[in-house]
Amino acid sequence: MPTRKPRAVPDLQFVFHPERDTEYVHFKDGAQNPFDAKPLRLGRRNAWWLADAALLAYWADVVAVPRFQAAGFPNTEFLDVSGVQCYVAWTTDFIVVTFRGTQPDQFSDIFDDADFPLVPWPRPQALVHAGFKGALDRVWKRLDEVLSPLVASRTTWFTGHSLGAALATLAADRSTFDSCVCTLGSPRVGNEAFARAFNARFRQRSLRYVSDADIVTHVPPPLPLPYFHVDEERYIDRAGAIGNSEPTIAHFFNELIGQVRHVRETVDLLQKGTMHAAPDFLLDHMPRGYATDIWNDYADHGD
């Protein structure tokens, strides 16, 4: 059985700048715990691989590409189109598409997402977040060019953290081939019709990890616009244990932190250095925390 890792120490700089983490070893012990390329199934081991890929997406290509290669991906393509970034890494058996999350200078902007309208999506009555759709639109042509010659002979897996999680969800749904989706700290992406159609298509092939008080998983709020989360949720409690249900006292958005503008004010103060104690609802968004807890879930329970 794999060995548990020490839980990640919450650190605000690794919320805003995951790539500044010089200690984390991506895909550590991956050779002894290889990715299961077939069939399309999201066990705990594959979820950890995808969580590490989502974390690595924050690093620059000069660092990330060699790390993907060292983990057994001989081919890695870095896409950077109009500020939307993702990596496509593949072997002879499978493809991982991982989207980079929110940039540090845009972090507070994610809390303006409640102001974005819902726009049409190619499913009956489905509507999605205009900003997320626009970001995917910018990178889609290039992404499709990379994936098209690969997908017929390989399984495909989408992942991402934060904004990257939203883009992974939309990209998987837009694709015409079967795939799996594993997201960390995802905001809500679309309306009930979108979530219902997504859940029907990706039943048992989608996992959405939520770390305790992570505030990004509460935006955009379900009111005034009818935003819904997709399934299947995996909740990480304060001790790092992962289960299928939230705690008895749920972290409802308004009960937890109040109005969206107050969260943005908190982020702005922290980034300016005029506020020094970061609240849990931001620290729980740290992607290293997600990756470590998902590994420990695999170490504790197996695949």
Q: What kind of architecture, by CATH, is found in domain 33-301?
A: 3-Layer(aba) Sandwich (3.40)
Q: What is the DSSP string of 81-123?
A: ETTEEEEEEE-SSEEEEEE----GGGGGGGGGGGGSPEEE-SS
pTM: 0.93
Residue 213 near residue 253, CB atoms below 8 Å = no
The pLDDT assigned to 249 comes to 43
Who's near 31: CB < 8 A, 6+ residues apart? 72
The pLDDT assigned to 259 comes to 55
List pLDDT tens digits, range 152-181.
999 999 999 999 999 999 999 999 999 999
In this predicted structure, the answer to whether residue 15 has a pLDDT above a threshold of 80 is yes
Indicate the pLDDT class of residue 101, thresholds 50, 70 and 90.
Answer: very high
The pLDDT assigned to 108 comes to 59
Residue 110 near residue 16, CB atoms below 8 Å = no
The pLDDT assigned to 272 comes to 73
Q: What is the DSSP string of 133-161?
A: HHHHHHHHHHHHHHHTTTGGGSEEEEEEE
Q: Could you tell me the two tokens for 2?
A: 């794999």
Task: For residue 182, list its beta bridge partners.
Answer: 159, 207
Q: Is the peptide bond before 10 cis (omega within 30 degrees of 0)?
A: no
The pLDDT assigned to 281 comes to 82
CB atoms < 10 A from the CB of 200, how many?
A: 10
In this predicted structure, the answer to whether residue 191 has a pLDDT above a threshold of 90 is yes
Burial grade of 191 (CB within 10 A; 0-12, 13-18, 19 or more): buried
| 173/268 Cα distance (integer angstroms) | 33
Average pLDDT of 59-68?
98
In this predicted structure, the answer to whether residue 69 has a pLDDT above a threshold of 60 is yes
